[in-house]
Structure 1
Amino acid sequence: MSLSVSPEFADLCQSQVALLQGLGAAWSAVYITEKLQSEAQPQLVPVAVAPPPSADWLDSTALSLPPGTHLEAIEESLPQISETLWRGEESAQSSLALRQQVVLPLLYGGGVWGLLVTRREDRCWNRQELLQIREISRTLAIARRLERQRLWYEQRLHEQQHQQQRERHRLDDLLHQLRNPLTALRTFSKLLLKRLLPADRNWPVAESLLRESDRLQELLLRFEGQLEPLAVTALETSTLALPEATCSSSKAPFPLAAISLTAVLEPLLATAAAIAQEREIGLAIELGSELAAVKGSASALTEILNNLLDNALKYTPRGGLVAVRSLGQGGDSPRQGIEIADTGYGIPAADQPRIFERHYR
């Protein structure tokens, strides 16, 4: 029977057996088993034996209990230590006058994790020694329970890594399938622009197709870049280090630079105009002749304005109106703002405090 035993647990068993030798034990052994069901027949495998036996003995020796004997009842079928002894009663001392072998089950947390067996030939165990033996058995039981928990968590982690790897492969396949039609869309858009003249009324449509396909490609690249850090690596159990702060608490990853609001808004408004026309929604654009340049991230600002326009169009009923206006402030602290308003349903008062809560809808 092969059981999972770490080198650390084996070393602990050896050290506890050495303590028993220091108490005068002529022979000691630590047996372990898996946590079995009550109806199962346990088989105990030696982990540490002193004096050390031959290698063949360790490979072939297992302690088997009589049929029908359970580890929970081991103290009834093997030489046991009376509870009165732990209370120090003299009658217990006399009843153990001839007892030289002690067998204790490794009991902890509702599980039976093995046996501790020790004996000596020249004299009986006294009360103080028996108390030490019981503490040794408890130490071994706690250690085995902790090791079994560690093995369980490692197994769950391995399964999670395997599941995540399968999910990653599925995502890679989906991204690959999405990338192919996107490449075709960009190619067709470029061909249309080559065949159309700028004065053609379909030119803005083809230009918008190419622009949106480029934006989709950029989003795909960003998505793929975000997948890389999600790969789970093996945990380093030899060190205790706190992980670094995640991106939610770190500084913004977007580089800041001077950007033109007009360059950001024009393609978004062109797309919004097409959607508004299809849904029979009015779109009023009231922008100044010259919008001031602002410092920020063009990609982040594009996402923000696009989401605001998308929400305005999504929640405005047919026949409604969406308005986009520029707001400026001069003086010593010049500011440039963009207002997006609509005649839609609005946000219920109960939900308004959660407007900026992530993923809340």
Structure 2
Amino acid sequence: MSTTFHPRDLTRPGPVRTAAGFALAATILFALAPAVLSDFRLGLLGKFLCFAIVAVGIGLAWGRGGMLTLGQGVFFGLGAYMMAMHLKIADAELRGDTVPDFMQIAGIRELPGYWAPFASPIVTILAIALLPALVALLLGLGVFKRRVKGAYFAILSQALAAAFAILLIGQQSTGGSNGLNRFRSFFGFDLADPANRRMLFFIVAAILLLVVAATRQLMQSRYGELLVAVRDQEERVRFLGYDPANIKVVAYTVAAFFAGIAGAMFVPIVGIISPADIGIVPSIAFLIGVAIGGRTTLLGPVLGAIGVAWAQTTLSESFPSAWTYAQALLFIVVIGFFPAGIAGLAKLRRRRTKADSTDDPTTSPSEPELEPAR
């Protein structure tokens, strides 16, 4: 009895290789990085890991689903502001005040009604996990059910990010253009303590590994195959009896869920959140990292987001006015000449090496003979 193989199975990493990859990543994040980096640099890396979490979701929605998400700053901002509101209320309670310090300066003597639920840590955590995903679910149903896609969806999502940033600027109760900052505690832990700062890094590193593992399972599942099929041949998927809108909504919602969690962790690590961190420019910056790393791969968005954020932090210190132009030029070069990103170049090189070895008559085949999948 012959065994039927699917060509896809031969290109997927096996469980041993996957486990080794996660073990290596965990070793780098939990052992090597804390040992060689100062507390300041470790905090910077934690900030970059927050961007990487957003990038994983974009890779799923854009790379696998073909949805050019230019508005992830909205979901990042929702998670960030909800966490910031809780931290400011907790700090006020530690001082014995009824409202946060910036509200006292602005003359606000009573906590606004929409702030009150975030006094509870449990409500805050649930809201961070559910609200960005719920907003994405409702928005996705409204957009994808009407078959809005391509450039129209990209413009709509970008306009949403701009509107959200403008709304926050006009709100005194959320700090206006200055945002929320000067957080002193994180669920009872003193943020001035270096040990607690390292704890935050370990938390965000663990979240990143969990997000990557969950995304990998989605990509390799039946749903992942349908998502790629919708990206490539949406009408054929509809003809087969599936609703492409539902498939897109799931990926869009998952990406928003990841972005909300990343925003929530960004706040205690960086110490500030403002409209400048969630508008059009940050949303495009998320996208640039994914494009450079390789949007169709699993680790490409992670490495691209970390690399671009590191380059921005490093180069902007020496060339503050030139970094924006360099970032735009890099994005144009990648999209125009290397659409698959850096990870795509590596895959192309492996394919060429494999093809050369196959064409060599002295090389004996080491793979099983394939039969059509039944």
TM-score (norm 1): 0.28
Kindly name which structure, 1 or 2, has the bigger radius of gyration based on alpha carbons.
Answer: 1
Higher helix share: 2
Q: Of the two structures, which has the highest relative contact order with CA contacts closer than 8 Å and spacing of 6 or more?
A: 2
User: Could you say which structure has the higher strand fraction?
Assistant: 1
